[in-house]
């Protein structure tokens, strides 16, 4: 029989603590209660908890600082923040720092139960991944992402945490660092993995063509539009879209994308009706968007919408310990494609 997870509820309001305890114990969970951050930290030091429901606004140590201290003591405990609607931005900040997700008050029992089940499914998958990586020894590859450096391990861990959520992710790094592979891994480890993954290089298309590629158009929308065409957002319906080289798009297209992020809907060129956009949006760039904002080339409000979660992929020169793995992986792939015996590069050559 599967062991039910142990849960710690941290809230300064007794009514919320007791309600959550009653709901969770009815479902068979083991539940403990803490009245504030200090109390919670002491309890985590004394016992292990699988899931911690943590209020964001409390007297004394707030939820964000409490989470940081809890993660130092028990990094494997998953934290689910509880917040009022006005504090959602801070809850998102907590996700960046390690929280699994957040609940907006008031919430109902079904919502709480669903989030806990998501956490436990994520933990189970994470344990399976750890065991698999141990068996693979040095083959530290996340699908097609190869690396055993500390920087890459941090990226793998971040993918594990962020993939199951619906958060927008901004992936930054120089050209050739594998930003699209990161996006594919986020999609492949999400609940949308069986739906389309659609990537578009925004920097390779002129502004007028990019708009029609993203949003599609109706027949007769412009000269040469002799048929209706779906855009990339419609092609990605139910799945994930990667907006690569997002830093190269015009200010006009930035306004259109901001509207999609805010309203979750698109409008084809030449149409007055809207289409719901059930799409997770990922973006990638090799540009410094903060500098672009200062120069007036990129909208600050769009940046904050895209940069809910950020993943920076360092260049290979900053993670030289990954070079042998990458080199041997490329040689192995080439040998397989040419139907030749698989060889390894001489370690002496790799040190040159």
Give 83-104 pLDDT, tens digit per residue: 876 567 777 888 888 888 888 8
Split at pLDDT 50, 70, 90, the class of 278 is very high
Give residue 138's pLDDT: 36
Helix (H) or strand (E) holding 32: strand 30-34
pTM above 0.75, yes or no: no
What's the maximum distance between 2 C-alpha atoms anywhere in the chain?
71
* Closest to 262 in 3D by CA, of 228, 306, 297, 292: 306
Q: What are the pLDDT digits (tens) for 195-238?
A: 899 999 998 898 889 999 999 988 888 888 888 888 999 999 99
CB-based contact 187:197 (threshold 8 Å) = yes
Burial of 8 (0-12, 13-18, 19+ CB in 10 A): buried
Of 56-60, 80-84, 193-197, 337-341, minimum mean pLDDT range: 337-341
* pLDDT at position 137 over 50: no
Instruction: Give residue 54's region: left, alpha or beta (phi > 0; psi -120 to 50).
Output: beta
Reading the block at residue 329, the tokens are 């992986």
| Between residues 47 and 87, the one the model is more confident about | 47
- Cα 194 to the chain's mean position, in Å? 17
Count the helix, strand and coil residues of the chain and give each as a percent rounded to the nearest 5.
45, 15, 35
Give residue 309's pLDDT: 94
CATH number, span 6-128: 3.40.50.2300
Reading the block at residue 163, the tokens are 């993939």
* Closest to 189 in 3D by CA, of 178, 199, 197, 177: 197
Helical H segments across the chain, by residue range: 14-26, 37-46, 63-73, 88-96, 109-136, 150-162, 179-188, 207-215, 232-235, 251-263, 289-294, 300-306, 323-337, 347-350
Split at pLDDT 50, 70, 90, the class of 1 is very low
Instruction: Domain ranges for the chain, please list them.
Output: 6-128, 146-316, 319-350
**Candidates 2.40.100.10, 3.40.190.10, 3.40.50.300, 3.40.50.2300; CATH matching 146-316:** 3.40.50.300
Split at pLDDT 50, 70, 90, the class of 42 is very high
**Equal fold, 6-128 vs 146-316:** yes
Give residue 171's pLDDT: 97
């Amino acid at each position: 029989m599967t062991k039910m997870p142990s849960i710690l509820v941290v809230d300064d309001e007794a009514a919320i603590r007791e309600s959550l305890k009653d709901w969770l114990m009815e479902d068979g969970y083991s539940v403990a209660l803490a009245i504030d951050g200090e109390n919670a930290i002491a309890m985590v030091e004394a016992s292990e908890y699988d899931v911690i429901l943590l209020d964001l606004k409390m007297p004394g140590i707030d939820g964000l600082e409490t989470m940081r201290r809890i993660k130092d003591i028990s990094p494997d405990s998953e934290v689910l923040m509880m917040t009022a609607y006005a504090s959602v931005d801070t809850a998102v900040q907590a996700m960046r720092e390690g929280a699994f997700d957040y609940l907006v008050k008031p919430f109902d029992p079904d919502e709480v139960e669903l989030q806990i089940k998501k956490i436990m499914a994520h933990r189970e998958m994470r344990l399976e991944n750890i065991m698999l990586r141990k068996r693979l020894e040095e083959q530290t590859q996340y699908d097609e992402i190869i690396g055993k450096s500390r920087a890459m391990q941090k990226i793998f861990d971040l993918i594990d945490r962020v993939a199951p959520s619906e958060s927008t992710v901004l992936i930054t790094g120089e050209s050739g660092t594998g930003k699209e592979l990161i996006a594919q891994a986020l999609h492949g480890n999400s609940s949308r993995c069986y739906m389309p993954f659609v990537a578009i290089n925004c920097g390779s298309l002129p502004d007028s063509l990019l708009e029609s590629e993203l949003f599609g158009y109706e027949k007769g929308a412009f000269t040469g539009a002799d048929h209706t065409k779906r855009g990339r957002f419609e092609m990605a319906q139910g799945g994930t879209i990667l907006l690569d080289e997002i830093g190269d798009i015009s200010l006009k297209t930035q306004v259109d994308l901001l509207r999609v992020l805010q309203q979750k809907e698109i409008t084809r060129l030449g149409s007055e009706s809207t289409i719901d956009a059930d799409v997770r949006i990922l973006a990638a760039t090799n540009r410094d968007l903060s500098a672009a904002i200062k120069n007036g080339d990129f909208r600050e409000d769009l940046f904050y919408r895209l940069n809910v979660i950020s993943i920076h992929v360092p260049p290979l020169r900053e993670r030289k310990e990954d070079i042998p793995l990458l080199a041997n992986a490329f040689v192995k792939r080439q040998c397989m494609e040419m139907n030749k015996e698989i060889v390894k590069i001489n370690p002496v050559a790799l040190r040159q």
